[in-house]
A and B are shown apart, each in its own frame.
Chain A
Amino acid sequence: MSRWIRFVGWLFTSLTGLCCLMILAMVVIILGDILVHGAPGLSWEFVSAEPRVGMTEGGIFPAIFGTVALVLLMTAAVVPLGVATAIYLHEYAAQDSRVVHLVRLALQNLAGVPAIVFGLFGLGFFVQFAGGGLDALFFGGRLAFGQPCILWAALTLAVLTLPTVVVATEESLRAVPKSYREAAYSMGATRWQVMRRVVLPQSVGGMLTGAILAISRGAGEVAPIMFTGAAYYLPYLPKKLNDQFMELGYHIYVMTTQSPDVEATLPILYSTVLVLLLVTFGLNFTAVIVRSRIRRRLRQT
């Protein structure tokens, strides 16, 4: 009997350990494959030049630039909106109100919507409705914002990542001890003073975690930007909000599926994937550094 129990214990330990190993193996294989095939193609020219010869030669600088610009724009849009939503939901709204239930339900559903649907939504709502409306109102019907561009792509990604930011921010607000709030209220603080002086400083870290998660998610998505702003090939960088742009993920998609010579582009493809990973890690890393800086400053004051 006891041998049987010991065997079952051993079996479960081995099984769970094996699962962990599989995850590790997958990461190693994916990263290793990309690194082995992609690293030789990396060069200064590759990250600083434009694509040439039907994208079989040259670099991918426009796509790197476009990705970074897109993610920054998206972050600038989603963080204020998501943080404000979370603060309202958690701090101001009556918790049993119907509106709050509806908003939460909407957020949960938003998180479950496939990325391609966001792309179509962006095309319909942002490009055609909002953009077309802007053109009709302010540009006399001339085409300015009623076309796919970096602004609409960034906003579409912002909608996609909104639930992430809201959930992370709410989590951080919930983590502020009730006793802190009560102590501040008992000292005659108004609701806004409690928020401003006690709750928000404590939850900034969590809000930035939301931003980091949003960046990770947003930088890797292709489907939402396909119809809303990403370009197959552009000889120039986006300079205005209504310019189209190249993006690494979309560039990879294009090269794998629509290149005139897939064999010839394969090395470039690998290197592009590597660069996409590096850019995503880089953006993440920057956000993590910003967060730890802010946390340290908060601890000092």
Chain B
Amino acid sequence: MSDADSVIEVRGFSAWYGTHAALEDVSLDVLAGEILGIIGPAGGGKSTFLRSLNRLNDLQANFRSSGTIRYLGLDLADPRVDVARLRRRIGMVFAVPVPLPGTIRDNLALGPSFNGTRADLPALMEKTLRAAYLWDEVKDRLGMSAFSLSGGQQQRLCLARTLMMEPDVLLLDEPCSGLDPISTAKIEDALEELKKEVTVVLVTNNVMQASRVADRTAFFLQGRLVECGPTAQLFLTPKETVTNEYVSGRFG
């Protein structure tokens, strides 16, 4: 069944926090070079799914899962997987901007420093800041505290910081939920450019955002994947009535 150009294959994946089932039997592929949008009401398992892809749920003491997730054929549950290395290949941006204490430069240098320092750091910083549409705004103040940036700028800094690891896959967990329309537009523009180099999985509460930027869209409801297909098809001619109801704004 494995698709030749799928980067991540999820098969029969279920997940629990304690006794609460967060995901039930989800099977889904992430294709190379696409933007996969994930939509659905809050509590539907979107974030759990995303955080399973880079094994960030491991930090949760009572988290359990079954089924398999393969990244480039590698089973993530394999005990031999170097989780730190995996997370450098599969980067993540959170819903709330999380600049870390320190300067803008410190934030950008942090990821590479976990992996030993690099010689071309300044060049890479410029590249990632440009990719995050932030370079012009911060190029003269890289030495200033990351907290001095606006919320939208902080989120783009977090995007640039993740790109510093030059990941294959970018996981975005509602990256625009707290941002104004202009900042949102900048991030969406950045994603359009980025998909030439990385595969993007974008969880969003904003149905319209998925319809704008996603190549394919998956709809999660109550821990289950209801359906997944090309974005236009999912929005215009969904297979399930519940999908139609959600994308047309009748609930959620």
Proximity string of chain A (84-111) to chain B, C-beta cutoff 8 Å, 1 when within and 0 when not: 0000000000111000000000000000
**A186-B87 contact given A181-B59, A197-B113, CB 8 Å threshold:** yes
A161 to B: closest C-beta gap in Å: 29
- A201 in contact (CB, < 8 A): yes
Q: Interface segment, B24-32, B88-96, B127-135, B178-186?
A: B88-96
Query: How many residue pairs at the A-B interface have CB separations less than 8 Å?
Result: 65
Proximity string of chain B (94-129) to chain A, C-beta cutoff 8 Å, 1 when within and 0 when not: 101010111000100011011100000000000000
Assembly CA distance A170 to B100 (angstroms): 20
- B162 in contact (CB, < 8 A): yes
A101 to B: closest C-beta gap in Å: 15
- B205 in contact (CB, < 8 A): no
Assembly CA distance A210 to B94 (angstroms): 33
- A202 in contact (CB, < 8 A): yes
**A301-B88 contact given A179-B96, A182-B59, A188-B111, CB 8 Å threshold:** no
**Chain B residue nearest to A186 in the complex (CB):** B92
Q: How many residues of B contact A (CB 8 A)?
A: 28
The answer to whether A187 and B56 have CB atoms under 8 Å apart is no
A196 to B: closest C-beta gap in Å: 10
Assembly CA distance A183 to B114 (angstroms): 13
- A129 in contact (CB, < 8 A): no
**A184-B100 contact given A95-B61, A197-B110, CB 8 Å threshold:** yes
The answer to whether B94 and A182 have CB atoms under 8 Å apart is yes
Most chain B beta carbons < 10 A, residue from A186, A193, A299: A186
**A188-B101 contact given A95-B61, A183-B94, A197-B113, CB 8 Å threshold:** no
Interface residues of B in 52-95 (CB under 8 A from A): 54, 56, 59, 61, 84-88, 91-92, 94
Contact of A183 among B54, B98, B145 (CB under 8 A): B98
Which residues of A lie under 8 Å from residue B61 when comparing CB positions? 94-96
Which residues of A lie under 8 Å from residue B59 when comparing CB positions? 181-182, 185
Assembly CA distance A189 to B84 (angstroms): 6
Interface residues of A in 161-205 (CB under 8 A from B): 177, 179-190, 193, 197-198, 201-202
A90 to B: closest C-beta gap in Å: 13
- A241 in contact (CB, < 8 A): no
Interface residues of B in 143-178 (CB under 8 A from A): 145, 158, 161-162, 165
**Chain B residue nearest to A179 in the complex (CB):** B98
Proximity string of chain B (15-59) to chain A, C-beta cutoff 8 Å, 1 when within and 0 when not: 000000000000000000000000000000000000000101001
The answer to whether B96 and A190 have CB atoms under 8 Å apart is no
- A298 in contact (CB, < 8 A): yes
B178 to A: closest C-beta gap in Å: 13
The answer to whether B114 and A193 have CB atoms under 8 Å apart is yes
Most chain B beta carbons < 10 A, residue from A183, A188, A198, A201: A188
Assembly CA distance A298 to B145 (angstroms): 12
B213 to A: closest C-beta gap in Å: 21
Interface residues of B in 189-215 (CB under 8 A from A): none
Which residues of A lie under 8 Å from residue B102 when comparing CB positions? 301
Assembly CA distance A81 to B91 (angstroms): 37
The answer to whether A185 and B94 have CB atoms under 8 Å apart is no
The answer to whether A187 and B94 have CB atoms under 8 Å apart is no
The answer to whether A187 and B88 have CB atoms under 8 Å apart is yes
The answer to whether B87 and A188 have CB atoms under 8 Å apart is yes
The answer to whether A188 and B98 have CB atoms under 8 Å apart is no
**Chain B residue nearest to A202 in the complex (CB):** B101
The answer to whether A188 and B165 have CB atoms under 8 Å apart is yes
**Chain B residue nearest to A201 in the complex (CB):** B101
**Chain B residue nearest to A187 in the complex (CB):** B111
Q: Which A residues form the contact surface with B (CB < 8 A)?
A: 94-96, 177, 179-190, 193, 197-198, 201-202, 298-299, 301
Known: A177-B98, A185-B59, A188-B86. 15 other contacts (CB 8 A): A94-B61, A95-B61, A183-B158, A184-B100, A186-B54, A186-B91, A187-B87, A187-B111, A188-B85, A188-B88, A188-B114, A188-B115, A190-B84, A198-B100, A299-B145
- A–B complex contacts, Cβ < 8 Å, 23 sampled: A94-B61, A177-B98, A179-B94, A179-B96, A180-B98, A181-B59, A183-B94, A183-B100, A185-B56, A185-B87, A186-B56, A186-B92, A187-B91, A187-B114, A188-B84, A188-B86, A188-B114, A189-B84, A189-B114, A190-B84, A202-B101, A298-B101, A299-B101
